[in-house]
């Protein structure tokens, strides 16, 4: 491979890495991994024990036999056909609990915070726009006053176009 081609490949790779969206994605993955451990800790340490106090600690043991006999054979292998619906229910509940924790502890507070920030920004823009309009109105009043003053003095030398001022 020629030296020039190596440099262009390396330059392209560097440009790819330095693009904003790649860096943002890398940061999001790292933050997501760190946040996953927080969510898992909340679910395992708080939510699951509360649910376990009401019901059962684990749903993994619940199953239904659809082809008899569902037992462990003499060779240690299970016989029959079992549907492990408890595992599916446990996974679904874990997903719902995790989604609720993420929503109520992260998404909802962040949305409220961003709404307040946006509201403050709009209020600030509104004040600036009002100031600009007020300035324009003052300038128009000054112009009109000067035109009226010239007319009173008997000499009307003011330009007739509004755009000329």
Looking at the domain assignment, is residue 32 inside a domain? Answer: yes
Count of domains observed in the chain: 1
Q: What is the pLDDT along the chain (165 residues), one digit of tens a residue?
A: 566 667 788 888 877 777 767 777 777 888 888 888 887 787 778 877 777 777 776 777 788 888 878 787 788 777 778 888 888 887 888 788 878 877 888 788 988 999 999 988 888 877 666 666 677 788 888 898 888 888 776 655 555 555 554
- CA 146 from chain center: how many Å? 55
In a domain, 35, yes or no: yes
Domain range for 34 is: 1-56
Name the burial class of residue 92, with classes exposed (0-12), middle (13-18) and buried (19+) by CB atoms within 10 angstroms of its CB. exposed
Q: Rounded to the nearest 10 degrees, what angle do helices 20-42 and 3-18 cross at?
A: 50
Alpha-carbon Rg for the chain in angstroms: 36
Residue 43 lies in a domain: yes
In a domain, 78, yes or no: no
pTM of this structure: 0.47
User: Is 38 domain-assigned?
Assistant: yes
Separation of alpha carbons 140 and 144, rounded Å = 6
Whether residue 25 is contained in a domain is answered as yes
């Amino acid at each position: 491979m020629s030296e020039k081609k190596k440099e262009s490949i390396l330059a392209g790779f560097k440009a790819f890495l330095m693009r904003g969206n790649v860096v943002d994605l890398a940061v999001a993955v790292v933050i997501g991994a760190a946040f996953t451990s927080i969510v898992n800790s909340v679910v395992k340490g708080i939510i699951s024990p509360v649910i376990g106090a009401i019901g059962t600690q684990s749903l993994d043991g619940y199953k239904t036999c659809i082809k008899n006999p569902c037992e462990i054979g003499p060779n240690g292998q299970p016989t029959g056909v079992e549907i492990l619906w408890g595992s599916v229910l446990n996974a679904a509940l874990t997903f719902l609990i995790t989604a609720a924790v993420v929503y109520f502890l992260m998404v909802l507070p962040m949305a409220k915070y961003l709404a307040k920030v946006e509201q403050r920004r709009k209020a600030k823009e509104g004040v600036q726009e009002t100031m600009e309009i007020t300035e324009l109105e003052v300038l128009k009043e000054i112009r009109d006053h000067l035109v009226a003053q010239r007319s009173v003095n008997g000499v009307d030398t003011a330009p007739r176009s509004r755009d000329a001022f």
